[in-house]
Structure 1
């Protein structure tokens, strides 16, 4: 059967001028579900016209991409090039494969073992200083993950520059969705570009020291990383990777942890189950060898990431003419897939809006109903290189929090979510903390 031409793809126009942008920013899930009413291949407009491909088969077609139909660089460049140039997720092969091969050395088991040991004392110091009573989770967890990233990634304890570094990452991420794409003061892109300039200076001031002596932190590991062929990163490449990895590590992990706090506050029986698991383990700090035993914590983390994935959509650009769902997609077409839509499909998930961590248990394994049913870390060749680090950090943090604190939210409270560009609570998530 001959594929239909591009103009035959159903078009959801949205509002005049702004199209579907307001709905996408307000509620990406509702936006994607609205598009799905027109089929699994739909045209719509946000910043520009995009073809959205929906469902697990679409995810596999776009992300697995053995044929080379899609460009990750083409998808991400518009959004991040001014603030995160050189980000590994915005590279295509052979550059992507080359950088990933070198970077892999910084995430080997020996390095990960050091990272988890280094983060334990940081977690203890920060979590132990939280005050009993009312606490805003998001800013506190963001400060914690930034301190972890500084210690584990850069090998330093944050002092007065912590707030400035945190604001720099907030500004760079916000710039990715700036309506005005030029660096014009005092607009968002200008703030993002200025913030990047500060981060570049911070990283460059430490390059010589990190190159001179190999230390356990990720910064040093990237400076000394070599591929099997002896290839290494240039100074510029190290700086670009450090800025992007620091952002990704502390922003997305903060998102996942905040959602876990919310879910466990609303589901106290699950909070008590995880607390019993944490208290059953003698050491106050997790080691790498302890992680496989944190099975139920992993289910809760996965369920939090299913309900509220840090990235609700993943952009690509067609690198050549291709076909999907009976339609032709011309080269140069912006294309997107929607993890948050797939994560809520009733064909894949039992009662998809309900918090149900046991759906990830070996007995049910709903996430294995399709290889691309669950993709909080993307998929294919661009599967997030730091996903195991994120898993390790989340388990290490929750282990100490559960042993020290019990937390609640008022009856009937529902967290107001902002899902774009990163999932986070609009109100900071107020909870009540009590010592265990």
Structure 2
């Protein structure tokens, strides 16, 4: 950790820089309407550790790799889950996303084996099959289609087949239920819980219905597995059911963990793919290279696990998408004891937020940071890989995302197969804006038109890509 500024005696300074109290009304407005601008402006104006006081709430914004490493890894035991995730607990319960301490360790031990590399490799065929179904549905679609809705259906389908050994096709309301959970969690976070949960507001009513629906679905999935156990089952659902006997896990605990998995397992990848289609449409040269690589590497077949290392440009595109629009844009923590961050004292009980969205745009670590450039992640490029804690699309430290390998595999396969067979174009005149909730999603959906690519075009692109590879 860098030793930040101290006073003339070398003592830790008490208060980091930040917006003055007179800016409270402006900060409140940004908190409600543009949380990304609030974080970005604060980091730009005040540096790598910022104290943001908004009424009775004070946030410590961390925006430097060394400081992020301290909070997320070096002193991770001092930092429990924070703002936003605390509020989400009323719907998600004490699942892996919201729990701490021994409960979190037990949950992580239970599901970790389902994400081992060898098992993920064996799931590649299921992922490719689901992606092929998506491409087929999109190719047959007439008129604009909401790509975000399609990505939600796809990622839930992949999650069901690969992690739960279950078909989630009959649970079409899952995506809408999780939207309601995110909306409510963020609403409670920014209103500091001042609005009672029982209030008959439309948002509150929608949330309560969504919470009940998620619990019903989770209970139904558990009941089905209990009635039809899988011998030697390695999937998460089998492991959760088995943990009830082995670890004394409660039925409520299984339900909490399953609801959390359903949210985290589909939302982040769906958001990443939505932003990918938006950015690829904005950059025709990227679209052309994606198409050429997919034709060269895959031909007309489905991808296999070994193709992941061959789809280097597609992987670089996904990684750059997650740099500009990290699906988990905020990593909130609460200090359990007094700490020192960057030479400043951070009192116990403080809300400390590491913000990948601003960290991924830090001009000290990224050249021309607002530009979409997949070349940043070219292993053979002049810059090499980015500094470890300057890039946190999956978090870091003990709470590094357990599903990162499956999420990356899924995003790369879907993007490659779609780019090979289809052209997706945004509907003109429809703005594309980020919405910073628990995840960073496209506000209001992403309508796009779909045009199948003719086979002769795919063959021509394959020839061009082959020639380019030969020249290299």
Q: After TM superposition, is the score higher than 0.5?
A: yes
Alignment correspondent of 2:366:
349
Q: Distance in 1 between matches of 2:221 and 2:105?
A: 27
Q: Distance in 1 between matches of 2:216 and 2:384?
A: 42
Alignment correspondent of 1:273:
289
Write the mapping of 1:289-308 to structure 2, written as runs, cut at 5 A.
289-308=306-325
Q: How far has the Cα of 1:362 moved from its partner?
A: 1.4
- 1:236 paired with 2:244, answer no
Instruction: Report the CA distance shift for 1:225/1:95 in structure 2 as closer, same or farther (over 3 A).
Output: closer
Instruction: Report the CA distance shift for 1:198/1:408 in structure 2 as closer, same or farther (over 3 A).
Output: closer
Q: How far has the Cα of 1:86 moved from its partner?
A: 1.4
Q: How far has the Cα of 1:216 moved from its partner?
A: 6.1
In the alignment of these two chains, the number of paired residues is 430
Q: How far has the Cα of 1:109 moved from its partner?
A: 3.1
- What SS does the aligned partner of 1:105 have? helix
Write the mapping of 1:68-79 to structure 2, written as runs, cut at 5 A.
68-72=77-81, 74-75=82-83, 77-79=85-87
- 1:327 paired with 2:341, answer no
Instruction: Report the CA distance shift for 1:169/1:274 in structure 2 as closer, same or farther (over 3 A).
Output: same
Per-residue CA deviations over 1:358-407 (Å, capped at 9, x if unaligned) read 10111347584432100111111111111111101112212321222012
Instruction: Report the CA distance shift for 1:363/1:161 in structure 2 as closer, same or farther (over 3 A).
Output: closer
Structure of larger gyration radius:
2
Q: Distance in 2 between matches of 1:337 and 1:181?
A: 28
Q: Do 1:224 and 1:232's aligned partners in 2 also have CA atoms closer than 8 Å?
A: no
- What SS does the aligned partner of 1:332 have? coil
Instruction: Report the CA distance shift for 1:220/1:244 in structure 2 as closer, same or farther (over 3 A).
Output: same
- 1:20 paired with 2:20, answer no
- What SS does the aligned partner of 1:113 have? helix
Instruction: Report the CA distance shift for 1:156/1:303 in structure 2 as closer, same or farther (over 3 A).
Output: same
Q: Which stretch shows the higher mean deviation, 270-279 or 408-417?
A: 408-417
Alignment correspondent of 1:33:
40
Q: How far has the Cα of 1:177 moved from its partner?
A: 1.0
What's the RMSD between the two structures over aligned residues?
A: 2.8
- What SS does the aligned partner of 1:406 have? strand
- 1:5 paired with 2:22, answer no
Per-residue CA deviations over 1:91-126 (Å, capped at 9, x if unaligned) read 333332332122111112343234332233333223
Q: Do 1:255 and 1:424's aligned partners in 2 also have CA atoms closer than 8 Å?
A: yes
- 1:142 paired with 2:152, answer yes
Instruction: Report the CA distance shift for 1:146/1:67 in structure 2 as closer, same or farther (over 3 A).
Output: closer
- 1:92 paired with 2:108, answer no
Q: Distance in 2 between matches of 1:403 and 1:362?
A: 23
Q: How far has the Cα of 1:213 moved from its partner?
A: 1.9
- What SS does the aligned partner of 2:153 have? helix
Q: Distance in 2 between matches of 1:367 and 1:383?
A: 22
TM normalised by structure 2 equals: 0.82
Q: How far has the Cα of 1:15 moved from its partner?
A: 5.2
Q: Distance in 2 between matches of 1:140 and 1:14?
A: 45
Say which of 223, 232, 246 aligns to 2:241: 223
Q: How far has the Cα of 1:61 moved from its partner?
A: 1.5
- What SS does the aligned partner of 2:92 have? coil
Alignment correspondent of 1:182:
197
Q: Do 1:348 and 1:366's aligned partners in 2 also have CA atoms closer than 8 Å?
A: no
Instruction: Report the CA distance shift for 1:264/1:132 in structure 2 as closer, same or farther (over 3 A).
Output: farther
Q: How far has the Cα of 1:59 moved from its partner?
A: 1.0
Q: Do 1:138 and 1:258's aligned partners in 2 also have CA atoms closer than 8 Å?
A: yes
Per-residue CA deviations over 1:160-219 (Å, capped at 9, x if unaligned) read 541x22221111121111243524334434432331222222222232442452256532
